[in-house]
Amino acid sequence: MRVILPNPRGFCAGVQMAVDVVEGVVAMFPDSQVYVYHEIVHNRHVVDRFRERNVTFVERIKDIPRGSVVVFSAHGIPPSVREEAKERGLPANDATCPLDTKVHSAPTRISRLGYEILLVGHADHQEIIGTRGEAPDATSVVETAEQVDSLQVRDENKLTYLTQTTLSTDDAAVIVNALRNRFPNLHEPSSSTICYATTNRQHAVRQIAPEVDVTLVVGSRNSSNSVRLTEIAAAAGSPGYLIDDASEIDHSWFPRGGDSSVLVTAGASAPEDLVAGVCKSLLNRYGGQLEQWDVMDENVEFRLPGSLRRIILDRGGDAPSNSVVIGPPSIDEQSYGAVPLTVSARSEPPKAI
């Protein structure tokens, strides 16, 4: 079997930062119950591993005992949740991805200028809930292009849009183009709000999927960006299957058995050890070769939240690294089942919508 790993894949810098925040809080409060508002990231294994370490995930701030330590998830929160946590005296650590924070801050600024915001995304996604909560009276959520014709707005000349960071660029473009057609004076945002990691992973799948028989996406079913990768693979002509780990592989997906070519990628919230497990499982069963296709470099650095640094220093810990840096994972035969052949497949993603 020919197993192809795209680079980039898996954890992005925002997810790694969020995981590091919870790790840091757990280390600083070993005898305390640590609470996380919403799943820290949308991955079952990440969440379950923290649960095994006495971390409790809640969907309501009122379920957290007063004075307890809380971490806000990577997806961000509306101001009402932040205020409720403050009222309950909860020492808070904000693990919101900096790119999500940028999107969250936009509605308040835009609404003050008198603009109405059309927020393109999934209404029940935590990022959209948090972003809309910044300016609820000036924000309408648009989930599909079909909704556009029925939208009611105050002033078509003072209208702009934002997009959920984890949308498929293709899906977002369909909705945004429908908005442009309906509202010719729609104000364009200064830059795309679909995040770099989402765009890069989608671009890698879009480029490689036509070359393989099957695409496996490692990620959980509540991970929007992981689901989008399976859809992009299918649109490119390669059946895409979403799996949490190697145990969910269905070998009927490979009718050519060991002669199959398989792209194995991962959503931005999936740990690399799960990707390694999938590769090793396939190669142990079918034999073959492992290839890593380098589509683009992705070396991104985010600063750790100041709240975590203060807690660590106040409790006598060593000053933590000032930042989180994500680069290509190291691959070894023991973990992945083979040493990869590296293939240069460099190209640039399409321009943002």
pTM here? Answer: 0.87
Beta-bridged to residue 33, according to DSSP, are none
The verdict on 266 and 174 lying in the same domain is no
- Residues designated catalytic: 127
Tokens matching residue 250: 């269905």
Which range of residues forms the domain containing residue 80?
13-96
Question: How many angstroms from the chain centroid is the CA of residue 336?
Answer: 24
The verdict on 231 and 329 lying in the same domain is yes
Pairing of strands 323-326, 300-303: antiparallel
| Average pLDDT score over the chain | 91
Is 314 part of a structural domain of the chain? no
Could you read off the pLDDT of 267-293 as tens digits, one per residue? 999 999 999 999 999 999 999 999 999
Is 239 part of a structural domain of the chain? yes
- Which residues lie below 8 Å from residue 12, measured CB to CB, with a gap of 6+? 195, 196, 197, 268, 300, 326
Is 124 part of a structural domain of the chain? yes
CATH of the domain at 222: 3.40.1010.20
Q: Rg of the Cα trace of the chain?
A: 21
Could you read off the pLDDT of 86-96 as tens digits, one per residue? 999 998 889 99
Is 312 part of a structural domain of the chain? no
Q: CB 209: neighbour CB atoms within 10 A?
A: 25
Number of domains into which the chain is organized: 3
* Of 269, 273, 268, the residue nearest 329 (C-alpha): 273
Could you read off the pLDDT of 197-224 as tens digits, one per residue? 989 999 999 999 999 999 999 999 999 8
At residue 168, the 3 state secondary structure works out as coil
Query: Do the Cβ atoms of 41 and 15 come closer than 8 Å?
Result: yes
* Of 226, 194, 277, the residue nearest 43 (C-alpha): 226
Tokens matching residue 219: 């990620």
Beta-bridged to residue 290, according to DSSP, are 3
Question: How many angstroms from the chain centroid is the CA of residue 186?
Answer: 28
Candidate from 51-55, 99-103, 127-131, 172-176 with smallest mean pLDDT: 99-103
